[in-house]
Each structure stands twice: as C-alpha cells, then as structure tokens.
Structure 1
Amino acid sequence: MVLEGGVGRWYAEALLRSAASQHFFSFAILRKEEWVRVFRVQGVAEEEGGAHVDEGAPESGAQKSQNAPDSGSASQNSENLWARYQLDSAGAMLVVALRYAPDVEPESDEERAVRGLPPLPIAKEGRPAAAVGRFARANWYRETIARLADCVKSISDEARARGLPVFAPREWHRFSNSRFPEKALAVAAGLGTIGRNGLLIAQRTGNAEASDSGCAETSSWPLWSSAVVLGLMLLPFDIGKEAGTLHDEPIMPLALCGTCQRCIDACPTGALALAELPRYERARCIQNYTSGAGPLPEDIEAAWGNQLYGCDICLEACPYFKPNSEACTALGRIGGAFDAAFIAAMSEAELRAVFKGSALDQKWIAPEALRRNVAIVASLFIGKSSDVPSRLL
C-alpha cells in the first residue's frame, strides 16, 4: 500500500515528530525503492551476526520477491530473511540512531531478585576485572526497539483520532543490531557518514534535543556522535514522492576524518589501515572474537587486555565519540566490570541466567567464549590462580 497525498505527508511528518520526541539522535525515512536498492548491493549479515528483532515478526510464509536480492548479488541468507519478514508487503523504512550513555549503574541485587535473576558478579577491588564495551553496558538495542514501539502507539492513536488508516502493531517490524545492513541504510538515509574505523558517525537531526521527564537532555547535544546504536522500523505502507524529502543526501565515507588516524594508532591488533576508503580487517578485530568460542590467534590473545565482551578502543580514540551522559534505560543494566575469576567458573546455565535480558543475552554469544575471555583476564591479573579452572588458562 502507498499512502498518497495528504495522508502520506501526515504519516511521514508524524513519524519524524515521534522519533524526535523519543530522543533519537538521528532519524529519517527511506522509501521502499531506496532501502531495496541498499539490500541488493549489501545483502545481509551471516546468521550469527544479528541480535534483536521484534518478537511479533512472522517466521515464514512468503515466497521470494521479484524485488529481493538475486542470487548473483546476495547470499541465500538474504533470500531467507526476505521471506521470513515478508518484505514484499513492507513499505517505507524509518532509520534511527540512539546515542547511548558512557556508562550505567548496574541493576541492584534487590532489583534483580524481584525479576528472579541472580546477583551480578561485579568486580571488587583487588579482584581481576573483565570489561564490557560501553555499547553493551545496558541493552540499548532493546531500548531502541521499545522507543520505536512508542512511536507506533503515538502516531496510531493520533491517526485513529483523525479518522486516518490505522495499522496493527504487529505490522510495524522493528530491528536493532540485526542482520540487515544497518550502517549502509543509515548512510543512505543521510543519518551520517562512515569513519575510518568503519563505524557510523551520526549527524544530529533537527531539534532532536527535545526532552521529557523520563530521559531529559538538559545539556547541549553535539552535532556529530559515533556513540550510537542503530534501529530500523519497516512500515506497513510506502509513502509517495509527493510526501516530500524524507532524508538528506548520503555523505561520503571519511568526510569527517581528513588526515586523522587516531583509531588506527589506537587499535592494538592493527585491524584498521590508512586508505582512501575505510579499511577494516575483521580477522584482526578483538570485537570479532569476543563472542565466538575456540582458541584465539596468538597475536590477538597477546593484545587482549581486559575484554569480556566488546571492544571500544577505536571508538574512544575518535574525536566524534560523544556518548550521552544523561541517556537512560531500565533494560539490561549490567554495568561494565565483572569478576573475571568468578565468571570463568560459571556453568553455561549460570551465565545465561546472569546476563538474561542484557545485550549479552544472545544465542550467538557462546558461553565458552565468555569463559575463555575472562580466563585470559584472570591469568594476566593473578597468573595460575586456584580461583580459575586450569582448563581455561
């Protein structure tokens, strides 16, 4: 369905207003033909690459679309995803970037007990501490999806009051940290540019600094920030071209980097390189190894540092890494430092329980990988300690 004329314009404007009211740092709408074009070129990530999708999405049923990426330009993964989420019937896409906090206060033992969860093994002074990347210290992915759901409720209520078409909540499929080409879609939507570390540097949209009593923005927002997570929402309708311009023109990669190479110099494994376009070698990236089981390459293990999950080194070196100290979420607040020796001795079931509801609560993050990671941290701190199972050292 294509919403033409005044109805299309109203929905487009309402979506963007709602995204601003939800404090997304950047946001824009891509018409279907525009995001399909990105899919055809980019394809999708491998199965283990995605984390969060909305729970109401259909599991199967649709046939491969004529618009779907063909076998010459994308893998079978693209075709399967196209069918799973019935992308034939999807319309335009809202693309958003949410700026996360530099750190969060972990959930208290009392709060976790109410939800039937065990205490978090927070590192104490004198114990080996394993770090979680800043982007995963709270579940900013689920927070993004929740705010998109609030957008749907807000504009649906208003549309109903105006006598305009209203669509069921399950028809608005929402994704964050998904297998879709989120960075490419964000660039196509004009949300920002790609930095030398291969990550999006988002540009603030309009009056995105609007605040409310829940998560107020009282300080001045920066114009650019790479401390963002991305979200997508497929709309149950497309919007005609008469709805107007829904996004800015894409910005070329490295448009903000110039001769800066702070991220390259900071990376301990040499995963980045100085080139005309961003050059990122996945096989040399610590982040790439934090979730997968198995032995680490010797040079990667030697540079491991104190990582439990994630790696912020290249991000924190970037002058555009500007988190939002006032951002808040109630979801998955685990904080950033865990007792490495304690986690190394935990079973898979115990690890799943500890990280339930957090950004680490994903089937593709192997418990064996987390135990291996903290064993490295513990061995650096206390050597062959009896606190750490020898099989993990």
Structure 2
Amino acid sequence: MTGTPVSLEDTLKAAALRLGFDAAGLARADEAWEAGARLAEFVAQGRHGEMRWMEDTLARRSAPTAMWPEARAALVVAMNYGPDHNPLDTLAERETGNISVYARGRDYHDLIKSRLKQLAGEVAQLTGAEVKVFVDTAPLMEKPLAQKAGLGWQGKHTNLVSRELGSWFFLGVVLTSASLAPDAPEPDHCGSCRACLDICPTNAFPAPYQLDARRCISYLTIEHAGPIPREFRAAMGNRIYGCDDCLAACPWNKFAASASEAALFARAELKTPGLDELAALDDAAFREVFSGSPVKRSGRDRFVRNVAVAIGNSGSARLTASLLPLLDDPSALVRGAAVWALARLDPARFAGEKAQRRASEHDSTVIEEWDLGA
C-alpha cells in the first residue's frame, strides 16, 4: 500500500517550517476583500498621522493585485519572537528605558527576507511560476492576508492574534502567479474580551478593531517627527521605542512560547537600558549602539527626545544631571524635551527663565512648541 499523496500546497507549507518559520498558510491573492476599503477610510479620517507614505501608496495597498496584477496566491508565514518575560513588568522600572520587544534583538527584516527568498526559490522550482517576496516595508497588507490564510485573526487592537503563537510573531509573504488551493480563514476569537483596548495608556482605539495612530505610543515614539504632544507625554512613562501594552494584555499569549530563533533574542543591553546612559548618546554613539537594530530607523534626535520625556516621567532627581547637557544639544527637538523634563522633575529650579533661555538660544520656537507643565 502507498501513503496518501502529499499535495503541492502541503509541500510548500512544509518547506516554510523547514526554513525556520513557525506557521504557514495559503490565501487567494486575486479576489476582492474589504481590507482595502478599511484602509482608505483610515487614511481619509487622518488617523495615519504623518505617515504620508500610506497616502502615497494607498492605491497599491488596496489589494495584492493592485501592486502585482499577476498575483494569484499568497504563501503567508509567521516567525515567533515571543519574549521570555512579561514586558509589562519593565514599565515599573522608571530609571530604565522600555524598548518594544520586537526591537530588542536583530532587525527582523533582514532575517525574514533572507528566509523568504529561500522559500520563494522553492515555490518557483515546484510550481514553475513567478514569485515575489514581501516583509512589512512593502505596500502589502499582510495582516488581512494572514487571516485569510488561517494564521490568525485581526484582534480588537488591529494586530494579528494566533491561538498558537499569541501576539508575538512577524509576518512575511511570498506572492506567486501560481494558482494554489487556499486554507480556511481563521475566525475571530476575541469574543467579549477588551483587555487590549482597556490597557492602552493613550486611548488610541476609538472603537474595537479601529486604531488612531496619532494617539499610539508606537507611532509617537517612532514615526512622529516633532515634539511629543503634551497630552501624551506623561502617558508614555518609560516607553522610548514602541509600546507592547495591547499585545501583552491579550489572554491568548498564555499559549505562546518564547522565540527559538537566536537572532531574535533580546540583546542584554537593550532589556533594561539606563536612561542616563541613553541620554548621553550622540549620533555616532547612537548608530554604534543600535547597529543592526530596528531602533536605528528612528534616528538619534527622535530617540533622545523620547529618552528625555521618559526621564521627565521617572520622578528621579538623580537623572536631572543627565538632562543638563541636552539643553545645549544641536537638536531643537532634544533641547525642548530636556526643558520639559527638567521642569517636570524640579519645577522650582528649572521652570524659570534660565533653562528656557539656554535651550532656546538656537531656536526661539523651542519653548513654545514644547510648552511647560505636565
């Protein structure tokens, strides 16, 4: 007797697992879907903030075939980056900086794209069809595709959730011109739970399954170029790059495992870095410390701006000394953040004219933009 023949689709998904991905599924890439309309509404409401690239590529993002008309199927893969601790615990360590879990290790884009290229080569060899690979820097809506491929569902926080991996995984996509049988979509398992919505420190979710990026700490600390809006500064706490609160609160994480890919393990120096050490980074030192890290994409000035805000939220008089050199920083963005933080830590000493005048010598708009107070 012979065994059950292995289908082409199963062979492709097995190849993904062999290459180190933790899950794989197939979806149609050439059928209509609602995600494009939801994205257009998101942009029309201005909820994308300063991310102008979303406007510029909106038409291409509307569907996979809008970007590549020959696309017929999508092989969607997931790679687990689960932490070995609860990231919410580090929010209480006020003299250290809280960096989002995904950014504590090596830049995942390089790792995943390399594996995707290997996978795409096998897809091309087995199907004889054209292939293209995508990570999240491409104008492709990978989360709706992943739900269609059965890898998980978009939760009320708009991120993908998996019954096996929880919230902690990266996505990659191989589009192909081959016609492949799709997997069943994953239904929504959120039920009445709203843990991710209730934990958000800035109320960034106008309603379940809706996000206003302009209120999101991940957006504010990474994408936003100017001073942190006053209403969100205290809520940032010690979050200096990204925010994991809504992911960490998800009950499905009880089934998640820690990352097995060594490149995604958190670097020891990025688990709980001292805010005073980070505040001292000039551009060259910033590039050295965060070489090969996603953090580098924010740039030194935005990052030190975030660090100064976190110091202002620390309540630690010891950290006051680390802010004083920033009053003479070449960046007006950094100088303004330092003035706000100093006034918050010691208003009797630093809310007067001296600190304001010193920081605004290079740019008279610094104080006006940052304002003072809580």
What is the one-letter code of the residue matched to 1:231? G
In 2 relative to 1, CA 101–50 (structure 1 residues): closer, same or farther, beyond 3 Å?
Answer: farther
The residue aligned with 2:142 is 182
Instruction: Select the structure with the greater relative contact order (CA < 8 A; seq sep ≥ 6).
Output: 1
What are structure 2's unaligned runs of at least 5 residues? 1-5, 328-334, 339-374
The residue aligned with 2:182 is 246
Distance 1:13 1:355 in 2: 39
Answer yes or no: is the 8 Å Cα contact 2:166–2:250 preserved in 1: no
Q: Deviations over 1:296-345 (max 9, x none)?
A: 12221011111121101111111112543242233695433223223223
Number of equivalenced pairs: 302
The residue aligned with 2:250 is 318
What is the one-letter code of the residue matched to 2:79? L
Other structure's SS at 1:385 match: helix
Matched, 1:200 2:160: yes
1:278 to 209, 225, 235: 209
Other structure's SS at 1:128 match: coil
Q: How does 1:360-371 map to 2 (within 5 A)?
A: 360-362=295-297, 365-371=298-304
Answer yes or no: is the 8 Å Cα contact 1:348–1:367 preserved in 2: yes
- Identity in percent: 27
Other structure's SS at 2:134 match: strand
| Larger radius of gyration between Structure 1 and Structure 2 | 2
The residue aligned with 2:196 is 263
Distance 1:329 1:319 in 2: 26
Distance 1:12 1:86 in 2: 24
Matched, 1:132 2:99: yes
The residue aligned with 1:295 is 227
The residue aligned with 2:25 is 28
Distance 1:330 1:315 in 2: 21
TM-score, with length taken from structure 1: 0.65
Distance 1:262 1:32 in 2: 32
Answer yes or no: is the 8 Å Cα contact 1:127–1:339 preserved in 2: no
Q: Deviations over 1:203-234 (max 9, x none)?
A: 4xxxxxxxxxxxxxxxxxxx351211211122
Query: Displacement, 1:154?
Result: 4.8
Matched, 1:77 2:68: no
Distance 1:307 1:179 in 2: 28
More helix by share: 2
What is the one-letter code of the residue matched to 2:216? C
What is the one-letter code of the residue matched to 2:74? M
Q: Deviations over 1:331-385 (max 9, x none)?
A: 69543322322322323343233222212233xx243221111112223333462
What is the one-letter code of the residue matched to 2:307? V
